[in-house]
Structure 1
Amino acid sequence: MFYPRGRRGVEPFFQVEQLRRSGNFNMDTDHFHDSYEIYYLLSGERHYYIHNRIYALQAGDLVFINKNQLHRTTSRNRSRHERILVNFDDLFLEPAAGLVPDLAEMFQGESFLLRPNAHEQGEIADLFQAMLQEQREGAPWSRPYLQTLLLQLLIRLDRIRNAKPAVVIPEQSEAQHRVYGIIEYLDAHYGEKLTLGGIAEHFFISSTYLCRTFKQTTGFTMIEYLNYVRIRETKALLRTTDWRVTRIARETGFESIAHFGRVFKEITGRSPLQYRKQNRE
């Protein structure tokens, strides 16, 4: 059974999919969302942007993405790859609230990468295949069965994580190291008036080099990245404060309410007021 993305917040949301791609492919869809994500690389190699770092993934690696965490995958060595992707929200696991702590407590609100051993990979792959089959067949009691499969997977991931598996080290070339510094700067100063020329001058590099290196390293343009960070912060303020939208736009670095509204809708598919209403009901 498939619980469509458009009804998230009204009823539980869950989706699992398996996909094989050949050749060069860079993710260009939503880069952060209100649901959790589990990415499992079955074969091939990928570059994965998470935690403001770039990681080189190999077959068997798994990534858990927390809600509203900016992330993206890009090609590595132009190799074909196959992956399984699971997305779900808090409501989907609500029936299990009495059995396990919530995910914020279970994983300390963190995104993380795992490199399971061969035996652990087999267990994880079996759970994913059971989810895919159950979603495909849509038999009676499909939702609670999928909930139990997902709960088994999350507990297994927590055990692997606590057993201190091999650490996946971020890429550390000179260009990547420079971009990491730029990312940290943008994360700290997103609420200020920033210009391409001003950032390039701050890091003693040309604007052309800045744009090219940032895009090659992260998969985002610098403006895309800055907009995603700003919208991520505005979503939090819309959920947790009663500030007027004009103040939220100003506090997060947008020069005009019109520009803020346009960027917010491009990234989230909703207006700021629609988002606030839906996430307070």
Structure 2
Amino acid sequence: MVLLNIGLANKIKGELPPLARWRCRPFRVTGGSPLFLKRRCDVLLSGDRNDYADDFTNTRLHELPVYIKYRFSETDFHMNYHFHRGYELFFLHEGWGAYINDDYVHPFQGNDLILIEGRQIHRASPTIGRRFTRTVINFLPECLIPETKQLVHDLFGKELENENRHLLLSEEKHARIYALLHQIHAEYTERHTGFQHMIGILLTRLLQDIHRIRFSDRPPPNKDTAEENPTIHDIIDYLSSHYAENILLVELAKRFYITPYYLCRLFKKATGDTIGRFITYARIRQAKQELVFTDMSISEICTRVGYGSFSYFGLVFKQYEGMTPRQYRQSYKRSINR
């Protein structure tokens, strides 16, 4: 029998809504890393359940069958217990704390994804004083293409245990999903002709990726997969370590003894993204770390992450983050000094 830190349980206990009674008990861990331990917590709600209805989200979903909050950051963030219509995908990009989902506490560990079914009472409980950045997608089934019915059932069905609704994304998977979130957000905000249909397509693709991560439905290895899997992992490892260099496609292909065409096809098939976008994402992610945690000048950071042009670096950074590198650094400092 394994027990989690009682301090966390007591902290969350003190934050429960007035109409709730709290009872915690340990549960048996049958395997896996200690990082995955969760404390089973039963929240027994009394009174009127409608006290927890999230009218704001319900209104947004009435206007449009999808509602998105993209890379929303706060330092002193507090969320009340609530529920709403439709399903929710909660992506944590940075921050610490826990997520309470009906009767489970999911400690955040970095690059987390929480799956919330409709009308399920939940809340995030981030560590106060730490930057908390997340993307939240609320959606109704009607915004998806018809073929996704089984996907939604597999990911959000009531028979799925709450402990299995918390996924930890590797850097590779987080990069791929982040690119999809960026595309969905662009469609949602720009709202060009046919944007709802395009959001449905992109959201379906996102759910397919999550389904693969969740269930790891890998077929028995054949000749092709046995050759491809080690190669693609080696390529990703190389790009993750050398993103600041001027990487030429021809030279990269030679390094792994494949043709440039096959390299691009293999990488796209495995990650859903191009090599160029993967490198850009790695550069911007490192630049954000340098902006927040170092005193280096922005021009130094620009060079350090692989950009020869300061103006182009600023343009790409703003395209990904919605603000310039200077604004990003200033916004972080303001949030810390509140």
Q: How far apart are residue 159 of structure 1 and its match? A: 0.5
Please name the residue that 2:319 is paired with.
none
Q: Tell me the percent identity.
A: 24
Deviations 1:42-89 (A, max 9, x none): 111131101412221132101110011111111226311110010001
Please name the residue that 1:33 is paired with.
84
Aligned partners of 2:189, 2:157: CA distance in 1, in Å?
32
Aligned partners of 1:16, 1:33: CA distance in 2, in Å?
14
Aligned partners of 1:61, 1:99: CA distance in 2, in Å?
23
3-state SS of the aligned residue for 2:177?
helix
Note if 1:144 corresponds to 2:197. yes
Note if 1:104 corresponds to 2:157. no
1:13 pairs with 65, 76, 89, which one? 65
Equivalent pair of 2:66/2:139 in contact (CA under 8 Å): yes
3-state SS of the aligned residue for 1:58?
coil
Equivalent pair of 1:12/1:91 in contact (CA under 8 Å): no
Aligned partners of 1:39, 1:63: CA distance in 2, in Å?
5
Q: Which ranges in structure 1 are unaligned for 5 or more consecutive residues?
A: 165-281
Note if 1:78 corresponds to 2:151. no
Aligned partners of 1:52, 1:136: CA distance in 2, in Å?
35
Aligned partners of 1:155, 1:102: CA distance in 2, in Å?
7
Note if 1:88 corresponds to 2:88. no
Equivalent pair of 1:107/1:158 in contact (CA under 8 Å): no
Q: CA RMSD in A?
A: 2.3
Equivalent pair of 1:16/1:132 in contact (CA under 8 Å): yes
Q: CA distance change for structure 1 residues 160 and 17 in 2, over 3 Å: closer, same or farther?
A: same
Larger Rg belongs to:
2
What is the number of equivalent residue pairs in this alignment? 156
Q: CA distance change for structure 1 residues 102 and 26 in 2, over 3 Å: closer, same or farther?
A: same
Q: Which ranges in structure 2 are unaligned for 5 or more consecutive residues?
A: 1-56, 218-338
Deviations 1:233-271 (A, max 9, x none): xxxxxxxxxxxxxxxxxxxxxxxxxxxxxxxxxxxxxxx
Please name the residue that 1:131 is paired with.
184
Note if 1:157 corresponds to 2:206. no
Farther-moved stretch of structure 1 (33-42 vs 43-52): 43-52
Q: CA distance change for structure 1 residues 149 and 67 in 2, over 3 Å: closer, same or farther?
A: same
Aligned partners of 1:124, 1:142: CA distance in 2, in Å?
19
- The amino acid across from 2:200 in the alignment is Q
Note if 1:42 corresponds to 2:93. yes
Residue pairs, 1:1-281, within 5 angstroms: 5-6=58-59, 8=61, 13-18=65-70, 19-22=72-75, 24-28=76-80, 31-76=82-127, 78-93=129-144, 96-98=145-147, 100-101=149-150, 103-109=152-158, 110=160, 112-163=165-216
Equivalent pair of 1:37/1:66 in contact (CA under 8 Å): yes
- The amino acid across from 1:49 in the alignment is I
Q: How far apart are residue 118 of structure 1 and its match? A: 1.0
Aligned partners of 1:163, 1:102: CA distance in 2, in Å?
14
- The amino acid across from 1:152 in the alignment is R
TM value normalised by structure 1: 0.51
Q: CA distance change for structure 1 residues 47 and 153 in 2, over 3 Å: closer, same or farther?
A: same
Q: How far apart are residue 132 of structure 1 and its match? A: 0.9
3-state SS of the aligned residue for 1:103?
helix
Please name the residue that 1:186 is paired with.
none
Equivalent pair of 1:39/1:63 in contact (CA under 8 Å): yes
Deviations 1:172-231 (A, max 9, x none): xxxxxxxxxxxxxxxxxxxxxxxxxxxxxxxxxxxxxxxxxxxxxxxxxxxxxxxxxxxx
Aligned partners of 1:46, 1:105: CA distance in 2, in Å?
27
Aligned partners of 2:185, 2:64: CA distance in 1, in Å?
17
- The amino acid across from 2:78 in the alignment is N
TM value normalised by structure 2: 0.43
